[in-house]
Amino acid sequence: MAAPEPEAPTTARSRAKDHSPWNWLLFIPILVPLIPAFFNDDSPALLGFPRFYWLQLAYILLGVATTTLVYQMTKKRGDR
């Protein structure tokens, strides 16, 4: 009983808007911060911060860099 999906050509074009291989990069900042083996240790310490703390704070940069890159690479250029 599902409604028939409209299959106009315009639909196909705008559907492609969200699809990009760059999007796969988003998995990096989702997975890396969730691996305790990377951060769960004291050394090396940085400015007095054990690795547990400075590395997890550094992951913020990883997240920002990735989302910024993906945004820049996938945003619409002009009136495409």
Partner 1 sequence: MWRDHLTEIIVFSLLFLLVSAMGFVAARWRAPKDMAHLDEWGLGGRSFGGWITWFLVGGDLYTAYTFVAVPALMFGAGAAGFFAVPYTIVIYPLVFLVLVRLWSVSHRHGFVTPADFVRKRFDSPVLALLIAITGIVATMPYIALQLVGIEAVLKTMGVTGESTVARHLPIIIAFAILAAYTYQSGLRAPALIAFVKDTLIYIVILVAVIWLPYKLGGWGDIFAAADAKFQASPSTNDGILLNANNQLQYITLAFGSALALFLYPHSITGVLASKNRDVIKRNMSALPAYSLLLGLIALLGYMAIAAGVKPLPGATAGTVDSNTVVPLLFDQQFPDWFAGVAYAAIGIGALVPAAIMSIAAANLFTRNIYKEYLKRDATPAQEANVSKITSLVVKVGAVACIVFLDPQFSIDLQLIGGVIILQTLPAVALGLYTRWFHRGALIAGWAAGMGLGMWMLYQIPHPNAALNRKHFGGSGFPLADFGFDTKKTIYVGIVAVLVNLLVAVILTLILRAAKVTEGVDGTARDDYFADEGDPRVTPGERRDADAAPEPVA
Residues 6+ away with beta carbon under 8 Å from 22: 69, 70, 73, 74
Q: Is 73 in the site for partner 1 (CB under 8 A)?
A: no
Which of 75, 77, 78, 80 lies at the binding interface for partner 1 (CB under 8 A)? 75
Alpha-carbon Rg for the chain in angstroms: 20
Nearest to 73 by CA among 8, 13, 24, 15: 24
Q: Which residues bind partner 1 (CB under 8 A)?
A: 1-3, 5-8, 10-11, 14-15, 17-18, 23, 26-30, 33-36, 40-42, 45, 47-50, 52-53, 56-57, 59-60, 62-64, 66-68, 70-71, 75
